[in-house]
């Protein structure tokens, strides 16, 4: 499994050092949570801070948009050359168009599903994705309790992926720890976001 520590858990007073530490520690990706205060009640970071993260990181960025107006935010962050940009299917009226836009910018497109959204909701988009991010908490705040139904959702998603696009990865974000990581691996999860 790959590990993508979330910079939301970093000490922002020494952000460059924190990013360097996780990269030196062997992370696979640097997970960046972008929240706009509208789609979720929290407000996090914009391109100026993420640009500083990109300069300090020696591993690829994994940008998770929790925003309204996804296309606008894709334009903001694309110049930082992340590996992935994921957006919430619950917020996007034209997901296929946005997937194509992200790929045309040389970035791997990914879709995020909230805990209540079934994997079948994106079955006909799987062929066009490089990753699906399953939320195992409600998006917007760190430190929440893991929602166990993500294990069943991951297994169902894995079946869809096997049929439609075996190269698509599954990432899980929220409450991942030493007590549930083996179950996530057994359910077919490829990448876990590490928060607290």
Compute the distance between CA of residue 6 and CA of residue 106 in angstroms, rounded to an integer.
23
Sheet containing 84-88: order of strands:
2-5, 191-194, 169-173, 131-135, 108-113, 84-88, 61-66, 30-35
Say whether 173 is catalytic.
yes
- Active-site residue identified among 33, 128, 130, 190: 33
Active-site annotation holds for 33: yes
Active-site residue (options: 62, 130, 173, 190): 173
Parallel/antiparallel/unpaired status of strands 84-88 and 108-113:
parallel
Report how far residue 16's alpha carbon sits from residue 23's, in angstroms, rounded to the nearest whole number: 11
Whole-number CA gyration radius for the chain: 15
Residue of 168, 161, 172 lying closest to 194 (CA atoms): 172
**Residues annotated as part of the active site:** 33, 173
């Amino acid at each position: 499994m790959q590990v993508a520590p979330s910079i939301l858990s970093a000490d922002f007073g020494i952000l460059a050092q924190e990013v360097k530490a996780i990269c030196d520690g062997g992370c696979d990706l640097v997970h960046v949570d972008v929240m706009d205060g509208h789609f979720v009640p929290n407000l996090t970071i914009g391109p100026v801070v993420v640009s500083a993260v990109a300069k300090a990181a020696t591993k690829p960025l994994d940008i998770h948009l929790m925003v309204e107006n996804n296309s606008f935010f894709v334009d903001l962050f694309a110049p930082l050359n992340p590996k992935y940009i994921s957006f919430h299917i619950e917020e996007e009226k034209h997901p296929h168009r946005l997937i194509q836009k992200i790929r045309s910018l040389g970035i791997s497109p990914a879709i995020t599903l909230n805990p209540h959204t079934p994997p079948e909701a994106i079955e006909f988009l799987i062929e066009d994705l490089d990753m699906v991010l399953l939320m195992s908490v409600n998006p917007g705040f760190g430190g929440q309790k893991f929602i166990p139904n993500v294990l069943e959702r991951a297994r169902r998603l894995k079946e869809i992926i096997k049929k439609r696009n075996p190269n698509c990865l599954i990432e899980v974000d929220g409450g991942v720890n030493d007590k549930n990581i083996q179950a996530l691996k057994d359910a077919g999860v490829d990448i876990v976001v590490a928060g607290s």
